Amino acid sequence: MNIKTILRLFKKEETREDKILKSCGCVCYCIDCNEPLNDDSHCETLEDGLYEYTCVKCNIKSKFHFGIAPVPIYIK
Give the residue from 25, 35, 20 showing the smallest Cα distance to 70: 25
Check residue 17 and report its DSSP letter.
Answer: H
Supply the pLDDT for residue 59: 92
The tens digit of pLDDT for each residue in 10-57 reads: 766 678 888 888 888 888 999 999 999 988 778 888 888 898 999 998
What does the angle CA 59 – CA 72 – CA 52 come to, to the nearest 5 degrees?
30
> Pick the residue with more confidence: 69 or 45?
45
Output the pTM of the full model. 0.72
Q: Which residue ranges make up each domain of the chain? A: 3-74
Supply the pLDDT for residue 60: 92
